[in-house]
Structures are given as structure tokens and as C-alpha cells.
Amino acid sequence: MKTHSGMVSSVVLALAAMLNLSVTQRAAATSFTTTGALSGNRAGHTATLLPNGKVLVFGGFNGVLRLTTSELYNPATGVWAPTGPLALGRTTQTATLLSNGKVLATGGHISAAGSTATCELYNPATSTWTGTGTMGTPRGNHTATLLLNGKVLVAGGFNRNTASVVGTSELYDPATGTWTPTGSLATARDYHTATLLLNGKVLVAGGAPDAAGYSSFSSAEVYDPVTGTWTTIGPMGSARQAHTATLLPNGRVLVAGGADVGYFNSGAELYDPAAQTWTATGSMGSARGIHTATLLPDGKVLAAGGNFNSFSAPTIVASSSTELYDPATGNWTASGSLNAPRSTHIATLLPNGKVLVAAGYYVNNNVQLFSAELYDSAAGGISLVNPVKLPGGAFQFAFTGASNGTNTVLAATNPALPSANWTVLGVVPEFSAGLFVFSDPQAANGPQRFYAVRAP
């Protein structure tokens, strides 16, 4: 690849064509089908896709207890199986898959008036949990983000022990199993979102100033791991909490739904890290909050379930509706309906491209759920997006695919060469669930290069 700007556009077009020809996806109907049920009811739990393709679900609340139980979902069989229990029952905790393949559980609420700072590690090899370093502050309803350096950033939340919202943030080092304080948020908040950006910084947006969750913030800030500091950026167009934030392949962040002053929101907006600005995008067909948003292999985003305000009665009800956001048009379209209306559930993109939706809360009857279902999305061609020339001349691009994918990048100076003559550059790392980012540091050291992505 030549590095002067005149060649970039032609190379991008060639790359896009190569990617579309090199990657295929299985066609499927846009619908939900039931799969194996969990062993018990739970809401406020977490779900983590493990390197072996199974999904680890743990913790949560069943209406009586904060749960210590953990379960594994096997996509090959559609069956859940129990695995090692946590030492401490907790809900609204976080779960982070570490670079070493273990899962870090942090904090959570342990009673109606209590929160914990304790943390535990799940080892898939032994199916057991072990204690690890304790955070400096007890918290639940916080966020945990795996940084590019392998450390975990925990931010905000609510401490039931002191009945106060948390403004501190901390870093977990898997190498030592210890926590160290880092810069404090400009605004203490819970029910917010945290999103790792392509530049390695973390965007925190919205949230609430207290446990009541009535009023919400429109403010946002960005954490820089290099300096350990938070910087306030321009606010969102709407105040919101219990919303979703999804990193798109083009590097922007889609924020959708949420609630403020007791009412759920159908609006959505985009954050552009390059310009540090928010712009409105198409609104969802239905207002919703405490829902899920999942980046699909075709690059669209699936918003599923959640709660909304029923104006036929002064109440909040659960939704079974789902919608698809298309970044190319900025529009939402209705998709298949969930078999069970739910909120506070989980949605996990599986290696087979399906989305697992499990458990959650049915606010209409005040019950926690144990059912699970699968969304099978329609196929779409994988296209190169966000091609950029990095400082130093490296070339970077992104594309979407099924989680845990082992997509391989190949390069050649002549696109007419047989595939056997292309140079294998390596497996593309997964930046976030379903989003793959590849950088070629050698792009500036030779002639124009063409790239292809080979799926398994």
C-alpha cells in the first residue's frame, strides 16, 4: 500500500471488495426460538462468552436471594449446566473476561442495604471461583471495562452501605490481583454506560445521581489510560440512564433508549470520538430502557426487550419487541418479537452468529424469569469500515463477525494472485463482542497492498 493520500481511496475500495468476496455468512430468518431454560430464576445477573464458546451466567436476584449460583450454556446442545458457585451472592455486579481467559466478578449488591467491594475469579479450566483483590469502595450498578493494556477499569456505581452514589474509579491488574485508585469521575453516577473506544480511551455517558433513579444525567466524560484522568466532554442531547451504548465498526458509539424523570426514551444518538461531538440519529419505534443492544455479524445493532411506559394505565410494563439499527441509513426497523417480554436480561453474541437472550425481569407480574431464547439474524455481507492510516504509517480497518471468530487476514501486492500465494498476516483480534480490528504495521514499508479476510 502506498502511503500518500492519493492512494487511500482506491485501496479502500479494493479492500472492501476483497472482504465482501472473501467472507460469507449463513442465511437465516430474523426470529426468536426458545432454547434450554436456566435452572432457576434470575435478574440483574451477568453473562460472559468464554473462549471455549460456552456462556457463563452468574449471580443476580431471584426475588428472595442474591444468588451465588453459576451456570454454563452450551450452544452446541442448547443446554445449561451448573458450574462452581460464587463465595458471595451478589447482583448488579460486573463480569469481565480477562486476557488470561478467566472471568473477573466485581462488587455488586449483597442485600437490600448492603454492597460489597469483594471480587472473585472464575477459572474455566477448573470450573471454580477464587477470591482476588478487594476494591477500595463497595459498589453495584457500576461499570467494568477491559483496557487495551489488559487492566480493568471500574467506574462509578452505588454504595448501599453509605446510601451514596460513587464517583471514584479503580484499576485491577490481573498480573498482581490488586486494585489501585485512578482518577475520579467529574460526576458521580450509577446506571451509566462505559464503552472502550478504538483509541483505547473509555467513554462514560449518562446515569443517575442517586439510587432512586428518577432524574438522569446528559453529561459524558472520557478516561485516558495513559494519564489516568477523566475529561468532561460535550453532553448528550438527552439525559438518560439504563440505556445502552454500542461501539460501531466505524468507531462511533450508538447510545439508545434509557429513562429520565420516570419516562422511557426512544431517542438515539451517536458519539464521534474524532470530533468529540454527539449527533442525533434515527429514533427507535418504541421507547425502552433496561434493554439490551447487540452488534450483529452484519454490522447492524439489535435492541431487544426492556421496559416502557404504558399510557393506558399509570404503570411500567415489559416489552417483547425488538428493533434493528442500520448504521448505513441511521434508521431502525422492527424485527422479530421475543417469546417472553423481559428487562434486566442479558444478550450474548455467540460464535455461531446467534444471540442468546436469557432470564431477566417481568415487571408486569413482578417475577424473575428463567427462560432463554435465540435470535437468528439475516445474513449480510461483511464490509471493511473505518479504514485509517495510523501515526507511523500503519494501516487499520475493522469489520463485524460472530464472537470468538478466528478470521485470518491475508495480503498481496497483486489481487489477481491465487489465494494460495497470498501472505498470511495473522488472526484478527476481537476488539469487542463481534467487532474485529486489524492493524498492519508493515503497510508503510512496501508497495501498495491488498487485503482479504478468510473466515473459518
The helix/strand/coil state of 31 is strand
Kindly give, in sequence order, each residue whose CB lies less than 8 Å from that of residue 59, ignoring residues fewer than 6 positions away: 42, 44, 45, 46, 66, 67, 68, 70, 86, 89, 90, 91, 93, 105, 108
Span 180-185, average pLDDT: 97
- Are the C-beta atoms of residues 390 and 439 closer than 8 Å to each other? yes
- The C-alpha cell 468464554 sits at 50
Confidence label for 392 from pLDDT (cuts 50, 70 and 90): confident
Span 142-171, average pLDDT: 97
Nearest to 297 by CA among 197, 433, 406: 433
Q: Is 15 a residue whose pLDDT tops 60?
A: no
Nearest to 377 by CA among 281, 287, 302: 302
How high is the mean pLDDT of the chain? 90
Phi, psi of 42 (to 5 degrees): -165, 145
Q: Please, is 323 exposed, middle or buried when counting C-beta atoms within 10 Å of its C-beta (0-12, 13-18, 19+)?
A: buried
Greater confidence, 39 or 315? 39
Q: Is 25 a residue whose pLDDT tops 70?
A: no
Greater confidence, 325 or 387? 325
Query: What's the CA gap between 93 and 45, in Å, rounded?
Result: 7
Domains of the chain: 5-24+381-454 (2.60.40)
User: Rounded to whole angstroms, what are the CA distances from 320 to 30, 229, 243, 356?
Assistant: 14, 40, 17, 15
Confidence label for 128 from pLDDT (cuts 50, 70 and 90): very high
- Are the C-beta atoms of residues 270 and 254 closer than 8 Å to each other? yes
Span 376-381, average pLDDT: 66
CA 181 from centroid of its chain's CA atoms: 24
Phi, psi of 60 (to 5 degrees): 105, -175
Nearest to 99 by CA among 168, 157, 172: 172
pLDDT at 23: 36
- Are the C-beta atoms of residues 38 and 358 closer than 8 Å to each other? yes
User: Tens digits of per-residue pLDDT, 243-282?
Assistant: 999 999 999 999 999 999 989 999 999 999 999 999 999 9
Q: Is 361 a residue whose pLDDT tops 70?
A: yes
- Are the C-beta atoms of residues 393 and 443 closer than 8 Å to each other? yes
Poorest-pLDDT segment among 70-79, 341-350, 414-423: 414-423
pLDDT at 314: 63
Burial 354-365 (b: 16+ CB within 10 A, else e): bbbbbbbbbbee
Query: What's the CA gap between 408 and 190, in Å, rounded?
Result: 39
Poorest-pLDDT segment among 13-17, 60-64, 78-82, 345-349: 13-17
pLDDT at 444: 73
Query: What's the CA gap between 198 and 437, in Å, rounded?
Result: 9
Confidence label for 443 from pLDDT (cuts 50, 70 and 90): confident
Query: What's the CA gap between 386 and 391, in Å, rounded?
Result: 15
Concatenated DSSP letters of 132-200: EPPPSS--BS-EEEE-TTS-EEEE--EETTTTEE---EEEEETTTTEEEEEPPPSS--BS-EEEE-TTS
Kindly give, in sequence order, each residue whose CB lies less than 8 Å from that of residue 385, ignoring residues fewer than 6 positions away: 249, 250, 299, 397, 398, 399
Local structure of residue 124 (DSSP, 8 states): T
Greater confidence, 190 or 453? 190
pLDDT at 30: 64
Greater confidence, 223 or 9? 223
User: pTM of the prediction?
Assistant: 0.92
pLDDT at 385: 78
Query: What's the CA gap between 332 and 254, in Å, rounded?
Result: 12
CA atoms within 13 A on the CB side of 210: 5
11 membership: H or E segment, kind and range? helix 8-22
Q: What percent of the chain has pLDDT over 90?
A: 74
Q: Is 342 a residue whose pLDDT tops 70?
A: yes
C-alpha cell at 78: 442448547
pLDDT at 58: 98
User: Tens digits of per-residue pLDDT, 317-333?
Assistant: 999 999 999 999 999 99
